[in-house]
Amino acid sequence: MRIAIDRLAVAYDDRRVIDGLSLTIDPGTIFTLLGPSGCGKTTLLRAIAGFVPVAAGRILFGETDVARLPAHRRNIGMVFQDYALFPDKTVFENVAYGLRARRTDDAAVRRRVGEALDRVGLGAFADRLPAALSGGQRQRVALVRALVIQPDVLLMDEPLSNLDSKLRHQVRETISELQREAGITTVFVTHDQDEALAMSDRIGVMNAGRLEQVGAPAEIYRTPHTAYVADFIGAANILSADLAAPAAAGATVRLAIGGRHVGAVCPQPLPAGPVRIVVRPEDIAMAPADGATDEMLSARVVRRHYLGAKTGYAVTLTDGTRITIDVSGPDHDRFATGDSVAVRIDPSRALAIAP
Amino acid sequence: MRLDLRSIWVWLSFAMLALLGVFLVYPVANIFLASLGGPGRGEGWAIVFGDPRYLRAIANTLLLGTAVTLAAMGVGVPLAYLTARYDYPGKAIVSILPLVTLVTPEVIVAQTWLMMLGNNGLIRRWLLEHGVVLPSFYGWFGLTTSMTFIYYTYAYIGTLAAIRGFDVQLEEAARSLGSSPVRARLRVLVPVVLPAILASALLIFTLVVGNFALSMILGGRVELLSVKTYQAAVSETTSNPVLQSTLASVSISIVMIVLFAQRWIVSRGRFEIVQGRVARPSRLRGVMALGFAAAASLVVVVSLLPLAAVVAGAFTVSRGPVMRWGQWTTANIDRVLSRSPEPLYNTMTYAGAATAIAIVLSALIGYLIVRRRNAVTPLIDYITALPLALSGTALGIGLIHAFNTGWITLTGTAAIIVLAYVIRRLPFGLRNASSTLYNIPRSLEEASISLGVPPGRTFLKVILPLMAPALAAAAVLTWTTTVAELSTSIIVYSGGRETIPIQIFKLIEGGLMAQASAYGLVLVAVILAPIVVATRIFRIDLFASRA
């Protein structure tokens, strides 16, 4: 089912925390709302669920505007950060809860709950209380409880944040599999960029109640439209530079930085003047100072982190700007702190954006 | 905050507000209004402040409050400190003290002191035989002694909770910075636990001001506000509603001022203790240990004495007021159970009804205040705290005057007793209900709603079952305190509606201690039965939400 949000506004005590937000989520896809805490992503999710009142605008599930429908009539499945399993009910009764609310007959309840629990490998745990389950098991119960009612949309509020990193990967897989099997439109809230990149069909990066950028994971990572998005997704060096002449979208430009010129791509049209360059640490090459060419900037290594598969370096340019560089491949740890080096920013990977 | 008139919770809030308005705000407002009424405006206040007897009663009440508070803190605070920080022989028994005071009605405590140290008391007579003459127990001596040994438990419980909540690492930090152990304790522990200690001191003060049973029975010639108020309320000849209301207003005003001071202290002193490590009690040995153990056991013995005395008294042969100690009989119990069991029936009926009503109201109001806040709920929150400022006597006067005539006439009915019980216990039931609600994650409710169950049914299917243990604990505590309630019921009851505490009070006034003891024993059984059932069979922690 398609979710379409149209000029949505949400207010707490007359203060609008979301104002005029529009968004379309394609049927059967996972859409991730990504952002730091307080950016409004959970508020948006709860507005879709019906737990916070909508001040203005529409929320369409398919053709139906649900914005003014109470939460229990929206036919949603919701998975909570703290699992929200009913502690006094068995695993079976937790999963059966929504079916019973829909007056499903007993035989069908037993069959569907049994199948659902088997699907996530918890068939043997049906009679246990939630307290007797591990964190990962609880989250799987919460997931099938939300899915067994065959909701129109699945809403997930940071469902992995209470799990340790190994379990997080397992449950992430389970979520992706079940979501694809059910073909259910899913909205996923997280502040974890890796999770967002790995799981989503599309990502919306939120900032101060607005969607800063919406796009596929690779698009968000490769071509952030703003410094905020670049900084939030992955590590990024954000440098100041000057653009001599206005540039059209998609143009490759040359920028003055630290007395030298470097190349960069403009994803959007830019006026002349101060701009910012966004470049990922892995898109900067480093060479010994004696091999410097015109395209390269001189720098000095100030810190070095050996990470096994790669080495992360912090270097300062001659004007004092500090950048981080990831070097991989053979001998990636060959530079030492204090070494004079030359760095080269890959012009096809560097982005010029508005300051 | 918004008022969404389509929400059933908003309508429920209005309904609760109306209910509280009629049955709680109106009687209380009525006291203050009536105190200003009368033929000459302000006549009541003129009488009270013009008559040295009333002024003396107010002064005596404040003096008694101060004396008992200091003495009770002197017993309770060291006991709590020792129990929190040290192991000493017999420590386990100290931990039952809160339960002992809970199950011992004040009227029985008063009776015990009389049987032991009264004019004809057991200990007094024994000492007399050995040539020791004790001063009369009626008056200041009896009042301070008896109240100290009831109210020290509040100091004990409050201080113990504060010391246990204290992060001992702070003390270690102070020592690592160069403070000596004693200095570290004084400089670090004391400021952190002091607000809790002061808060319990002020609580004790308000309880002394409102105390009825001990003041009445042991007061002797000492004029006290609660006694004067009660006498004004029940005296047939000088039945002056203006005077009664004025005296009640004075008592309410004193308690309100103290409670505001308490709230101020608590709100100022709320230090954030991040994840604490509780101090490990160190073991005491030798003379110190024996000394502590002796002091602690003295407190325990005095606290347990009323229960022992009531059992002994109930089975002791008596002729009129004379107790034949050492001669045993079951006649007293027989008489209470077979010939005049009405007080027992009355007590159980009224307390049962009041418990049921108080728990339903606590669950509903607690849910509204904690989970369904709207423009009305803060008002409900304030109103439900009002009974804390009402002494039993003041509430009784308010109820009598408010429901004597008019649309709702309750005077002379059983309903007014039940109403009095409900009002007195509501703040405590509500405290249990809301503290458990704060511990039930909001997401559970949302999970249920997201699965298609409407909010009202979600409350019944998800929230209520999770509140059940706390509500059961609240029900037990409501029951144990209402069956022992005396100060309000003795004003609002009418002939034939005596409860056990009222009956005991009357028998004590008539000097019939053996019969009073028999009723006392029945009362203790009525109090203990649900506690035993709750803690042993259902394994409910009665004090879970008190700390």
Which residues on chain A are in Cβ contact (under 8 Å) with B441? 82, 84
pLDDT value at B502 more than 90: yes
Instruction: Give the rounded percent of residues in chain A with a pLDDT score beyond 90.
Output: 49
Q: Is the model more confident about B92 or about A75? A: A75
| For residue A347, pLDDT beyond 60 | yes
Which pLDDT belongs to residue B542? 65
pLDDT at residue number A46:
94
**Are residues A84 and B443, on separate chains, in Cβ contact within 8 Å?**
yes
Q: Which residues of B touch A54 (CB under 8 A)?
A: none
Q: Which of A245-249, A279-283, B68-72 has the lowest mean pLDDT?
A: A245-249
B546 pLDDT band, cuts 50/70/90, is very low
Q: Give me the mean pLDDT over the B27-45 stretch.
A: 78
Q: Does domain A3-222 have CATH number 3.40.30.10?
A: no
Check whether B272 has a pLDDT greater than 90. no
Check whether A6 has a pLDDT greater than 80: yes
At A332, the pLDDT band (50, 70, 90 cuts) reads: confident
In 3-state terms, what secondary structure has residue B296? helix
pLDDT at A45 over 90: yes
Mean pLDDT of the B139-163 span: 90
Least CB-CB distance to B447: which of A50, A70, A78?
A78
Cα–Cα distance, B401 to B44 (Å, whole number) = 15
How confident is residue B495, by pLDDT bands cut at 50, 70 and 90? confident
Residue ranges per structural domain of chain A: 3-222, 236-353
Amino acid at B396: G
Q: Which residues of A touch B466 (CB under 8 A)?
A: 87-88
> How far is Cα B403 from Cα B411, in angstroms, rounded to an integer?
6
- Report the percentage of chain B scoring pLDDT > 70: 94
Q: What's the confidence (pLDDT) of residue B135?
A: 84
| B103 has a pLDDT exceeding 80 | no
Structure confidence by residue, pLDDT tens digits, B403-428:
887 777 888 889 999 999 999 999 98
The whole-number pLDDT of residue B3 equals: 64
Measure in Å the smallest separation between the Cα of B466 and chain A Cα atoms.
7
The DSSP string of A40-109 is SHHHHHHHHHTSS--SEEEEEETTEE-TTS-GGGS-EEEE-TT----TTS-HHHHHHHHHHHTT--HHHH
- The residue whose two tokens read 């930085």 is A257
Average of per-residue pLDDT values in chain B: 85
Question: Is the pLDDT assigned to residue B183 strictly greater than 90?
Answer: no
Contact A71 B449 (CB under 8 A): yes
Position A292 scores a pLDDT of 66
Q: Which residues of A touch B464 (CB under 8 A)?
A: none
Instruction: Say yes or no to pLDDT of A171 above 70.
Output: yes
Number of Cβ within 10 Å of residue B131's Cβ equals 6
**Is B334's pLDDT higher than 50?**
yes
Structure confidence at residue B276 (pLDDT) = 58
Give the three-state DSSP class for A248: coil
**Position B543 confidence tier, pLDDT thresholds 50, 70, 90:** low
Contact assignment for B451 to A145 by CB distance below 8 Å: yes
Q: Do B1 and A13 touch (CB under 8 A)?
A: yes
CB contact under 8 A, A76 and B446: no
Residue A21 has pLDDT above 50, yes or no: yes
What is the reported pLDDT for B236? 58
Nearest beta carbon to residue B447 from set A84, A88, A102: A84
The answer, for A245 touching chain B at a CB cutoff of 8 Å, is no
B287-314 average pLDDT score: 85
Given an 8 Å threshold on Cβ–Cβ distance, is A78 in contact with B465?
A: no
A72 touches chain B (CB under 8 A): yes
CA distance B450 to chain A (A): 5
Residues of A in contact with B448 (CB under 8 A): 86, 97
Report the half-sphere exposure of B100 (CA within 13 A, side-chain side).
23
List the single residue in A with minimal CA-CA distance to B455: A72
Under the banding of pLDDT at 50, 70 and 90, the label for residue A268 is: confident
Q: Which of B373, B451, B453, B463 to mutate to test the interface with A (most CBs of A within 10 A)?
A: B451
Of B441, B454, B455, the CB nearest to A84: B441
Cα(A286)–Cα(B47) distance, integer angstroms: 97
- pLDDT higher than threshold 80 for residue A65: yes
**Residue B194: what pLDDT?**
86
Q: What are chain B's domains?
A: 37-158+196-313 (1.10.3720.10)
Rounded Cα distance between B202 and A217, Å, is 62
CB contact under 8 A, B447 and A86: yes
The answer, for A68 touching chain B at a CB cutoff of 8 Å, is no
pLDDT one-digit tens code per residue, B48-66: 888 888 899 999 999 999 9
Residue B260, min C-alpha distance to chain A (Å): 29
**pLDDT for residue A271 is more than 80:** yes
- Which residues of chain A make contact with B454, given a CB cutoff of 8 A? 70, 72
How is residue B365 written in tokens? Answer: 């109001």
Residue B122, both tokens:
């057991």
Strand-strand pairing, A237-243 and A273-279: antiparallel
Identify the weakest region by mean pLDDT among A1-10, A114-123, A229-238, B220-229. A229-238
Other CB atoms within 10 Å distance of the CB of residue B216: 23
For residue A262, give the nearest of A305, A291, A297, A219 by alpha carbon: A297
Q: CB distance B446–A49 less than 8 Å?
A: yes
Q: Which option is the CATH number for A236-353: 1.20.1600.10, 1.10.3720.10, 2.40.50.140, 3.90.780.10?
A: 2.40.50.140
Average pLDDT of the segment spanning B448-455:
93
Token pair of A247 as six digits: 């540039």
Please state the ipTM of this predicted complex: 0.85
Residues of B in contact with A48 (CB under 8 A): none
What's the average model confidence in pLDDT over A225-241? Answer: 85
Q: Is the pLDDT assigned to residue B12 strictly greater than 80?
A: yes
- Provide the pLDDT for residue B547: 34
